[in-house]
């Protein structure tokens, strides 16, 4: 599906607003967006990670086709980038979050998908060893995660790198899985993690997760929030305050919803806004529309789902629900 630029609505900044420097906005020149790959059938690509080989790891949905969802890699620097299946994960028909673990291992969540929710009792956290160039994958473990209808964005706890937090946007909870002991528990449940309730266009709450300097950053798709909360070294919420960084204006639906995001080393947040854009929030709270791939742009951006920024902050990769992998050149090298 294609959503014209006219449906884009801006987010309202509620955090550090006093530090916004309008000069930063005037200097903004939209970066170059190129398409790395486009699935012919608009396969929904849900998430991505940048591997040490600089290949991208992709999770995708495979709904309605009766076959298992696949874990893929793609080399964005090759002449003709093409996705390669590196593992099949159990009976999962949809794969969601990705989190790097120590020792070339990755935690991948997935299960049998229904409509905006998974089938109870089908969700697992798969541990996959990914090595080499080109990368190959082998499934090391499948940890059952019972009694949940959603595991979405995921992040490892920095001081306990074998433990991941997973966003349950249906139950309004943050799940915690220790990948060594295979223990699953709930760190916290809160109305700010729930969907909007009722029969809404997007009945999903907490979606993307990232941790930086003792804060858990999260998006809540259905409530249109980008927010953060203090956590302790084990990933538990500290105190009661949820700080709202940005709130979407206008009705939230699949053409106007925060999805996954990434944080760069300079503290900026790059947030996928479903519809056709990527928003950037600097650590000082300045918001710019980094990518607005609507009608008239060189690359039509179809429902961005997730973002991964390279460690050096030069390149940003985007996955979309329209089967695309895109590259955004944040700091083009000056040509001589």
Q: Rule CB under 6 A: which residues touch ligand NAG?
A: 90-91, 120-121, 147, 149
Measured from the CB of residue 66, what is the shortest distance to ligand NAG in angstroms? 12
Measured from the CB of residue 120, what is the shortest distance to ligand NAG in angstroms? 4
Nearest to ligand NAG of 90, 285 (CB atom):
90
Burial of residue 302 (number of CB atoms within 10 Å: 0-12, 13-18, 19+): buried
Nearest to ligand NAG of 147, 329 (CB atom):
147
Nearest to ligand NAG of 108, 300 (CB atom):
108
Measured from the CB of residue 174, what is the shortest distance to ligand NAG in angstroms? 15
Nearest to ligand NAG of 61, 126 (CB atom):
126
Measured from the CB of residue 285, what is the shortest distance to ligand NAG in angstroms? 37
- Residue 89 · residue 71 · CB < 8 Å: yes
Residues 6+ apart with CB under 8 A from 26: none
Measured from the CB of residue 90, what is the shortest distance to ligand NAG in angstroms? 4
Nearest to ligand NAG of 91, 178 (CB atom):
91
Measured from the CB of residue 117, what is the shortest distance to ligand NAG in angstroms? 9
Nearest to ligand NAG of 35, 91 (CB atom):
91
3-state per-residue secondary structure call for the chain:
CCCCHHHCCCEEECCCHHHCCHHHHHCCCCCEEEEEEECCCCCCEEEEEECCCCCEEEEEECCCCCCCCEEEEECCCCCCCCCEEEEECCCCCEEEEEEEECCCEEEEEEECECCCCECCCCCEEEEEEEECCCCEEEEEEEEECCCCCCCCCEEEECCEEEEEEEEECCCCEEEEEECCCCCEEEEEECHHHCCCCCCCCCCCCEEEEEEECCEEEEEECCCCEEEEEEECCCCCEEEEEEEEEEEECCCCECCEEEEEEEECCCCCEEEEEECCEEEEECCCCCEEEEEECCCCCCCCCCCEEEEEECCCCCEEEEEECCCEEEEEECCCCCCC
Nearest to ligand NAG of 149, 246 (CB atom):
149
Measured from the CB of residue 283, what is the shortest distance to ligand NAG in angstroms? 37
CA distance 180 to 259: 29
Measured from the CB of residue 75, what is the shortest distance to ligand NAG in angstroms? 30
Nearest to ligand NAG of 81, 90 (CB atom):
90
């Amino acid at each position: 599906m294609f959503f014209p630029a006219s449906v884009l609505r801006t987010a309202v900044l509620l955090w550090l607003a006093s530090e916004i420097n309008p000069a930063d906005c005037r200097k903004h020149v939209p970066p170059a967006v190129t398409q790395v790959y486009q699935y012919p059938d608009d396969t929904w690509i849900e998430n991505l990670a940048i591997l040490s080989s600089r290949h991208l790891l992709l999770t995708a949905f495979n709904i309605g086709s009766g076959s298992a969802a696949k874990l893929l890699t793609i080399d964005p620097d090759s002449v003709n980038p093409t996705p390669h299946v590196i593992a099949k994960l159990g009976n999962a028909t949809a794969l969601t979050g990705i989190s790097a673990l120590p020792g070339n291992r990755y935690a991948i969540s997935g299960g049998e998908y229904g409509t905006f929710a998974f089938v109870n009792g089908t969700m697992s956290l798969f541990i996959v060893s990914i090595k080499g160039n080109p990368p190959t994958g082998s499934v090391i473990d499948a940890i059952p995660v019972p009694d949940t209808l959603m595991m979405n964005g995921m992040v490892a706890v920095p001081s306990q790198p074998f433990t991941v937090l997973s966003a349950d946007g249906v139950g309004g909870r943050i799940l915690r899985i220790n990948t060594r002991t295979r223990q699953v528990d709930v760190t916290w449940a809160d109305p700010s993690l729930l969907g909007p309730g009722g029969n809404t266009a997007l009945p999903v709450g907490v979606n993307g997760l990232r941790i930086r300097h003792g804060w858990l950053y999260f998006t809540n798709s259905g409530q249109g929030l980008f927010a953060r909360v203090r956590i302790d070294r084990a990933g538990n919420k500290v105190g009661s305050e949820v700080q709202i960084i940005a709130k979407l204006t206008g009705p939230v639906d699949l053409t106007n919803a925060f999805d996954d995001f990434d944080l760069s080393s300079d503290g900026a947040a790059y947030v996928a806004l479903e519809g056709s854009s990527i928003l950037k929030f600097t650590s000082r709270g300045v918001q710019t529309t980094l990518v607005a791939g609507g009608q008239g742009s060189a690359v039509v951006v179809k429902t961005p789902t997730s973002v991964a920024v390279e460690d050096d902050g030069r390149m940003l990769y985007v996955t979309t629900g329209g089967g695309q992998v895109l590259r955004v050149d944040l700091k083009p090298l000056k040509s001589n």
